[in-house]
Amino acid sequence: MNKDDYMLFKEGLSRGEEYLFTYHDVNYWISHGPNGDSSLARDDGTYCQDFNSLDELLKKLN
């Protein structure tokens, strides 16, 4: 993902969009809520990690 794509991705999350992506053949959801919380979850519901902010979540993904 280049810098422009990353900025569009981050902007979409900040507006409340959710994204589904695949990593090592496992599907994950990433989302950011209006109250400031963010989460990363497996699509099958077996794993969920919550974050206090979008920046905290994105730093964890790097």
Is the pLDDT score of 62 beyond 80? no
- Find all residues with CB under 8 Å of 42, minimum gap 6, and list them: 26, 27, 28, 29, 48
- Tell me what pLDDT residue 61 has: 78
pTM of the model: 0.77
Residue 29 · residue 18 · CB < 8 Å: yes
Element (H, E) at 36: none
pLDDT tens, position by position, 2-50: 999 999 999 999 999 999 999 999 999 999 988 889 999 999 988 999 9
